[in-house]
Structure 1
C-alpha cells in the first residue's frame, strides 16, 4: 500500500483532502481510483489507512478507515553528521540511513573534505537529499521523514552540536588501537528520548584537531569494530547497532 507524508498535524477529522505533489502521484503516477487505500502520515507522527472517496481535477478526498498501529521510530532521535564525502556518497547515506531509522542528517565541511559547496550548491543538494529521504521514509514505512541540514561553515556546525544530549564520534584511530567498548556502553546507557548526534569523517577521516574540539564538548570517541569502514558504511553500522540495542534486546 502506498504511503504519503502530509504537511499538517492529525486533528481527529476523518475526511482528508490531498492536493499538490501527493495528488499528482496518486492520480497521474499510480492511477488510483475510488476505493483504493493508502497510508497517510501526519506531521505529529500519526498514520492512518484512508480510502479514496472522490477524485476531482485537483483534489483527492479520502475517508479514514483505521489508524496504523506499531512503533516505527527509534526510541531516541539519532542524527547522522557526515563530513562532506565525494560523489554521491551522501545520497547513499541518506537513503540507507533513513531506512535504518535516522532522525536527521547533517553535512559539514570537515578538514579532510575534498568537496567544496557554496550556498547555491548546498541549497540544490539539500532539496535533492530531502526528496531522497522522503521517498526512503515512505518505502520503509517510517512515521517521520528525516530532516536535512547542510552547513557551509564548520563553525556553524560546531555551534549546532550544542543542541544534542549525547555526542558519538566514530574515529578510525580508536578502531586501530582495538577500542571496542565505548559504543556498546554508550548505547546501553543513553536514556530514551535523548537527542544523539553521531559524527563521521569524510574519506580522509577526522583530524586530531577535530577530535580535540569534539572531546571538549564531552563527545564519546569510539571505534566501530576491528575493521576500518568506508565513510558511507560507518553510519549504517552505527544505526544498525543502535537498532539492535534499543529495539531488539
Structure 2
C-alpha cells in the first residue's frame, strides 16, 4: 500500500489528513487514487495511520483517518552512517539503500583523501536533493521515520561527535586485510561484554566510512583516540558506496532485525 510522509500540521486532529504539493500530485496523477481508496500516512516521528480518500485533486487530497497503526518497522538500534563525501551521485545511492535497510541518520563529512571538491555554496540544494531521496526511499520501504541527512561536517566535527554514541565503528581496509583484524561481530561482542550483557535501551551507533582513496593512518589513529573501534569489513576491498551498506546490514543482523539474534 502506498505510504506518504507529511508534516504534523497536515494531520487535522485525530480524524483527517491532507496531502499537498508533490504528494497530492503523485497520489492523483501517478497512483490514480479516487474516493474511498486507502493509503498509509505518517508524520515521520510518532504517528502512522491508515487513511481513505474523501476528496482528490492534483493540488490537494483530503482523507479521513480509518485506523491508527503501530510503529513497528524501525530498528531497535539507531545507526548513523557517517560517509566521507564520494564523487558523483554515490552519496545518493548510500542514502537510498541505507534508508531502505534501516539507517537512522546520515552524516556526510570531509576527509583527507576525499576526491570530490566540496562546494559549500551548493550545499543547500544538495541537502534538499538528499532529503527527497531519503523520503522517497522511506516511503518505498514502509519506514515510520524519514532518516535525517545532516549538513556536511569537517573531520574534526565528526570525531568530536563520537562520544555522543554508545558505539562507534571506524571501517578501515587495513583492519580487514587477510581477515586477520577485528571485524564488526568481534567489536559487537566486546561492546556487549563491556555492558555486562545488558545493552542500553535504543542504543545509538555510528558507522564511519571513508572515501574512494580510503582513510589515512593518521585518521584511523585519530578516530580510535576519540573512542571509535577500528574494524574491517572482510578481506575484500569494498567501494565507498558499498561499505556503509554492508556495515549497516551486519549491524542490523546482529541486532536481530533480520532474524540473527
* TM-score higher than 0.5: yes
Structure 1 counterpart SS, 2:66: strand
**Quick check: 1:222 aligned with 2:223?**
no
Map 1:56-71 → 2, pairs under 5 A: 58-69=59-70, 71=72
* Aligned residue in 2 for 1:2: 2
* Aligned residue in 2 for 1:104: 105
- For the 8 Å contact 1:109–1:116, the answer to whether it is kept is no
* Aligned residue in 1 for 2:196: none
Greater mean alpha carbon deviation, residues 181-190 or residues 200-209: 181-190
Greater mean alpha carbon deviation, residues 193-202 or residues 47-56: 47-56
Q: Distance in 2 between matches of 1:3 and 1:232?
A: 27
Q: How many aligned residue pairs are there?
A: 249
* Aligned residue in 1 for 2:48: 47
* Aligned residue in 2 for 1:15: 16
Structure 1 counterpart SS, 2:213: coil
Superposition misfits of 4+ residues, deviation over 6 angstroms? 9-12
Deviation per residue, 1:79-124 (Å, 9 max, x gap) = 0011111221111111111111001111111111011122122222
Q: Distance in 2 between matches of 1:142 and 1:133?
A: 10
Deviation per residue, 1:202-229 (Å, 9 max, x gap) = 1111111111111111111111122221
- For the 8 Å contact 2:83–2:109, the answer to whether it is kept is yes
Q: TM-score, normalised by structure 2?
A: 0.87
Q: TM-score, normalised by structure 1?
A: 0.91
* Aligned residue in 2 for 1:204: 213
Q: CA deviation at 1:70?
A: 6.2
Q: CA deviation at 1:181?
A: 4.5
Q: Distance in 2 between matches of 1:81 and 1:44?
A: 22
- For the 8 Å contact 1:183–1:223, the answer to whether it is kept is yes
- For the 8 Å contact 2:111–2:154, the answer to whether it is kept is no
**Quick check: 1:244 aligned with 2:257?**
no
Q: Distance in 2 between matches of 1:230 and 1:19?
A: 39
> Cα distance 1:229–1:56, how it changes in 2: closer, same or farther (>3 A)?
closer
* Aligned residue in 2 for 1:195: 204
Q: CA deviation at 1:53?
A: 1.4
Q: Distance in 1 between matches of 2:177 and 2:132?
A: 37
Q: CA deviation at 1:26?
A: 1.7
Greater mean alpha carbon deviation, residues 206-215 or residues 38-47: 38-47
Structure 2 residues not aligned, in runs of 5+: 193-198
**Quick check: 1:232 aligned with 2:252?**
no
Coordinate RMSD, CA, aligned: 2.1
